[in-house]
Amino acid sequence: MSELKQQLKELNQTISHTIKSLDDVIKSDIHKSEELASSLQGLIDKRQLLIEKVTSGNDVDADYINQQKALAKAFMDALVTHRQYYFDALAKVKPGTKKINLYQDIDSGK
């Protein structure tokens, strides 16, 4: 069980680092921030599966579970905040600009 808790601790640190990276780039690079937000979603999903494994044992105390619930809420709040910022930024983009940026992104990949 302690191995699972260690994996969860490491995953929590990875998620926290990803959230910090999102905070650093959200206003300067909307595309990079959306990639990070998608990655964050995957990490949160992976975390949920790991939480289920950790809490399936009988030796998990209530304090530990409450700590993990609080972290889960904080992680989801961060994801929602960044997704909302992304959608708000997309709504402010002029219709033709989005298409031009898409073509620029495609051309830059050549």
Q: What is the predicted pLDDT for the residue at 85?
A: 82
What pLDDT, on a 0 to 100 scale, did the predictor assign at position 16? 95
| C-alpha gyration radius of the chain | 18
Q: Which two tokens stand for residue 106?
A: 């495609």
Angle in degrees, CA 73, 51, 18, rounded to 5:
55
**pLDDT tens by residue, the chain, 110 residues:** 589 889 999 999 999 999 999 888 888 887 888 888 889 999 999 999 999 988 887 777 889 889 999 999 999 999 888 888 877 877 776 665 555 554 455 555 44
Nearest to 98 by CA among 30, 24, 23: 30
Looking at the chain, list the stretches that DSSP marks H as alpha helix, in order from N- to C-terminal side: 2-25, 30-55, 62-92, 95-108
Q: Look at residue 27 in the predicted model and tell me its pLDDT.
A: 80
Query: What is the reported pLDDT for 110?
Result: 45
Predicted pLDDT at 105: 53
Q: Which helix (H) or strand (E) holds 58?
A: none
Domain locations in the chain? 2-108
At 2, list the tokens: 């302690």
